[in-house]
Amino acid sequence: MTLDPSWSRPRAYPALADGTIVTHALEVHVTDHCNLRCAGCCVLSPLAPRRFLEAADLQRDLAWAREVLRPSVFKLSGGEPLLAPNIVELARVAKASGIAPRVSMTTNGVLLARAPDALFEELDAITVSIYPGVGIDAASLASLRTRAVRFGVALNEKHQEQFQSMTRRSPEPEASVTREVFDSCWLRHRCHTLRDGTLFACSRPVGIDALADAGGSLAASDGVSLAPRAERTLEITRYLERSEPLASCARCLGGTGALMPFRQLTRLEVRERRPE
């Protein structure tokens, strides 16, 4: 079954309803690293160290998030989420939290054949990125389609033969250029990201911070805490509606970068920390 993409199209967000902030989506990266080395990876997974999200941390963060946010879908993403040994537990925590009416997972599909039925039981949707020459093979994809129907999981097959260049090697010196990138960026409307009790307007600050060897300073300045406090909803609303670019926007091309053919980075490129 193929998912009707209309559910994932952004509307006018954020908006307030019953004291909570209605948004398009909220995602969490259960790993930063991946089993592929895609050039132009949006979250720079080929350059990321191994990291696994703990279920207790996700449970805390979702409890905080649910008090102020109402996304239409919650996404388990990465990196490659199926590398996480506790992915079933994470999906169960996400579903039980009630953070969103739909819990989805985004994956390259390579490891889906090994995923237990228990994972499918906790998911409402799966997005599989299908790349030429690597990733899920035809037989596994056919099996996945059958399995998705059996468990009532909506399957979105995302064929991707091009990536968009998104990362600058060095910061953009012109503030006006960075502002243009920010103003036209679709990620800040569609890719709100939860990490370590902090909400980020998009999925890029943590990866860019690591690439820039900024020691956490970019990520620290680019997010807003979800921890309970007075005026929290107002602070988060103002953050999501901000007109000023994030610090990490100076190293990001947003949606303005050139398209490039899909390819895998060489091991030398990874060692040299070259994102594309």
What are the pLDDT digits (tens) for 131-175? 999 989 999 999 999 999 999 999 999 999 999 999 998 999 999
With contact defined as beta carbons under 8 Å apart, do 162 and 262 qualify? yes
| Domain assignment present for 191 | yes
- Residue 194 lies inside a defined structural domain of this protein: yes
Question: pLDDT at position 219, please?
Answer: 80
Tell me how far the alpha carbon of residue 32 is from its chain's centroid: 10
**pLDDT value at position 12?**
54
Task: Please give the Cα distance from 247 to 111 (Å, whole number).
Answer: 35
Tell whether 276 is covered by a domain: no
pLDDT band at residue 13, thresholds of 50, 70 and 90?
low
Quote the CA–CA distance of 88 and 178 in Å, as a whole number.
39
Confidence grade of residue 1 (pLDDT, cut at 50, 70, 90)? very low
- Give, for 121, the enclosing helix (H) or strand (E): helix 117-122
Q: Encode pLDDT of 19-42 as tens digits.
A: 899 999 999 999 999 999 999 999
| Mean of pLDDT over the chain | 92
> Which residues are CB-neighbours of 163 under 8 A, at least 6 positions away?
38, 39, 40, 41, 259, 260, 262, 276
Q: Is the dihedral of CA 154, 27, 249, 167 positive or negative?
A: negative
Give 166-224 pLDDT, tens digit per residue.
Answer: 999 899 999 999 999 999 999 999 999 999 999 999 999 999 988 888 777 878 899 99
Tell me if 18 is assigned to some domain: yes
- Closest by CA position to 185, among listed 236, 253, 132: 253
Q: Give every CB contact of residue 77 below 8 A, 6+ residues apart in sequence.
A: 27, 28, 29, 30, 105, 106, 203
- Tell me if 196 is assigned to some domain: yes
- DSSP class per residue in 187-253: HHHH-EEEETTEEESSS-HHHHHHHTT-TTHHHHHHEEE-S--TTHHHHHHHHHT--SPPGGGGGB-
193 in any annotated domain? yes
In a domain, 98, yes or no: yes
CATH assignment at residue 36 = 3.20.20
Domain residues for 233?
5-271
Percent of the chain with pLDDT over 70: 95
Q: Tell me how many domains the chain contains.
A: 1
